[in-house]
A = this chain, B = another copy of it.
Amino acid sequence: MQGTDVDFKEHLASRRALIDAALDDAVVDTPLCPPRLAEAMRYSLKAGGKRLRPVLALLACEACGGQKEEAVPVAIAAEMIHTYSLIHDDLPAMDNDDLRRGRPTNHRVFGEATAILAGDALLSRSFEIIAREVSPAKVAADCIADLAAAAGPEGMVGGQAADLAAETSGVRDQEHLESIHLRKTGALIQASLVMGARVGGGSKSECQAMKSYGRAVGLAFQIADDLLDITGDAAKMGKGVRKDADHNKLTYPGLLGLEQSQKLAARLTEEAIAVLSPFGKSGRPLAAVARFAVERDH
């Protein structure tokens, strides 16, 4: 990782491959799980995406001196929770989306009932994987507490509920927007990093640094997403663009304008990188991810 773009891409690609292989094994056909349910779970799990959360878990583990393989259970648990949230958010009663990552959404393929159940199943499975595969048990319990809090009513679900309410409430200020995103996407990104640090043997202050890094990177990613919704290319994005404005969604560009939003994203990226200094060289891949957050085109 001498900072070249090619090294960084290879570094990430090898970690993504490890995650994709583990996700392949995470939902296999068994006599007790109805085949259509398993198929629906796999359909969304294997739809690809950036694998941001599991990659961050692996990188955080390594930054704290652990082996990337140790972080695989918490990494795929985080990706399963992210995937369940996408399935439920896409439902007709929620965002009513037909397309996700360039393919029909889960409920468009399997029907609403199966989509709801596939989401529910992924959520439960994610905790089971950590409970069974992470040791010692104290680390497993701490990771489950982190992940459940990040996913639950004060985390991702709370953020989604607040976001839905904001569409109609007319509340339109930056503090409120930040509070929604910190819960809706930030909390799970932070939990992925903290879990990675925990399984990598990170100290309390290293876990705290990962949390701060995750806060900044999470917001930067969200602002970049909002910007791509306006300036992006539908083909590269794999979904419709300018949907947020159509839905009267509260967004950063809608609130601050394009230029100020870009500046804020850049500032958050610098903040994230600064937090990594105690990790020295082993924090460089995480710094590269922070830069990628705002430079990507999809």
Ranked nearest first, the 7 interchain pairs of A and B with the lowest CB-CB distance are: A128-B148, A93-B112, A124-B152, A32-B154, A121-B153, A131-B145, A137-B137
* C-alpha gap A117/B155 in the complex (Å): 12
Known contacts A131-B145, A141-B140, A164-B113: A121-B41 contact under CB 8 Å: no
| A255 part of interface (Cβ distance < 8 Å) | no
Residue numbers in B under 8 Å from A119 (CB-CB): 120
Q: Is the interface of A mostly helix, strand, loop or mixed?
A: helix
* 24 examples of A-B residue contacts, CB within 8 angstroms: A32-B155, A34-B158, A34-B161, A36-B165, A88-B117, A91-B116, A94-B116, A114-B161, A116-B116, A120-B151, A121-B157, A123-B123, A124-B148, A125-B153, A127-B148, A128-B144, A128-B152, A131-B141, A131-B142, A131-B145, A134-B141, A136-B137, A137-B138, A144-B144
Known contacts A94-B116, A148-B131: A33-B160 contact under CB 8 Å: no
Residue numbers in B under 8 Å from A52 (CB-CB): none
The tally of residues in A whose CB lies under 8 Å from a CB in B reads 55
Asked if residues A36 and B161 are in contact (CB atoms below 8 Å), the reply is yes
- Minimum distance in angstroms from A26 CB to a CB of chain B: 11
Q: A93-B112, A117-B160, A128-B148 are in contact. List 7 more A-B contacts (CB 8 A).
A: A32-B154, A88-B116, A121-B152, A131-B142, A132-B145, A134-B141, A141-B141
